[in-house]
Structure 1
């Protein structure tokens, strides 16, 4: 049982399906107005009332897409899928599936701390299992000549970046809620420097 392996293509196909379904379900959190609401309110008022929902949709969709891209990139190095890798992947997908709920919970209580902290918890959990999955793949496939030390560091630093920022956002929500809601921008800023450092060290 220890050496049991699984079909890599089935694992990837299943993961892709879960990612795509979770990303599609996000749009259901943007409530469709009733015919009565449409008749008695202007289109602008109806859309304005749904701004938090659209913000949640766009942020969650893009974040989930980034984790899918990360999953796509890291899985290409996998030669065999063992039980540990399979379960790390399953727990990652568990929190991906939770995204539509945590997004809906967040946008419903858009100005409240609790729903935002739960949203950050969901994203932190995705980040944690994404990091654990990547770290295991880097260790398991260490003999792969394509996985140079520079590439390994890039993958691990990129995974840690998002994980740390979402944890920080959840903690800051209790102290500086307005800052906490915008701190995710740091993910892209830090990633810029990670990429630049990787390109620079790769040339030397």
Structure 2
């Protein structure tokens, strides 16, 4: 099965997600800088979600680049991941409009958590399809701290939303900062493979 088609479809979905999110940034009715102030929480929510979509796009690209093949399990796991990512515009808009309310901030955290959970079967199915001796399987620990810790932090943020919404949003931003650099293990393994083949 051609992994290029899977990557092209996923890229298209992610591009649509970003487009829908940016459409929520509506121009103010006034014409003064002060009129932009009420839109600041909406803009901050958009920036955070844009970063998250960018993180998933980057890592999705790196994993598919390292993979040797895809199968039916990968396709369904990818659709599962895209489903939760497609909920980002809704959660982003709701939290942006009600950034100081517990439920929208908690729901945003749930969407982030479900996308992180959905990443795990996508990752494992891609590794299984590529084989135990593949570059991808050798480079990635599917249950490493960088895969598991974000889920625990999202759960903490969801609970924290009912105590302090700003602290919860700061925790969501912290997780994004953890993942903002693509997985270096894959890059290093790919470089080692290229050097070995050239030797």
State the TM-score bracket (shorter-chain normalisation): 0.7 to 0.9
Match of 2:131 in 1: 142
Structure label with greater radius of gyration: 1
Contact between 2:124 and 2:142, CA under 8 Å: does it hold in 1? no
Question: How far has the Cα of 1:161 moved from its partner?
Answer: 3.4
Contact between 1:25 and 1:100, CA under 8 Å: does it hold in 2? yes
Q: RMSD value over aligned CA atoms?
A: 2.6
User: Residue 26 in 1 paired to residue 21 in 2?
Assistant: yes
Question: How far has the Cα of 1:87 moved from its partner?
Answer: 0.7
TM-score by length of 1: 0.79
Match of 1:12 in 2: 7
- What is the 5 A alignment of 1:1-204? 6-34=1-29, 37-38=30-31, 42=32, 44-147=33-136, 149=138, 151-153=139-141, 156-187=144-175
Secondary structure in 1 matching 2:171: coil
Deviations 1:6-26 (A, max 9, x none): 432111100000011111221
Contact between 1:135 and 1:156, CA under 8 Å: does it hold in 2? no
TM-score by length of 2: 0.80
C-alpha separation between the residues in 2 aligned to 1:115 and 1:127?
A: 18
Q: What are structure 1's unaligned runs of at least 5 residues?
A: 1-5
Question: How far has the Cα of 1:191 moved from its partner?
Answer: 5.7
Contact between 1:134 and 1:156, CA under 8 Å: does it hold in 2? no
Contact between 2:123 and 2:142, CA under 8 Å: does it hold in 1? no
**Residues matched between the structures, number:** 184
Contact between 2:78 and 2:122, CA under 8 Å: does it hold in 1? yes
54-63 vs 77-86, greater mean Cα deviation: 77-86
C-alpha separation between the residues in 2 aligned to 1:189 and 1:63?
A: 9
Q: Which has the higher contact order (CA 8 A, sep 6+)?
A: 2
Residues 1:116 and 1:100: Cα distance change in structure 2 (over 3 Å): same
Question: How far has the Cα of 1:181 moved from its partner?
Answer: 1.7
Secondary structure in 2 matching 1:24: helix
Deviations 1:45-100 (A, max 9, x none): 11111101110111000011001111111112333322211111001111111111
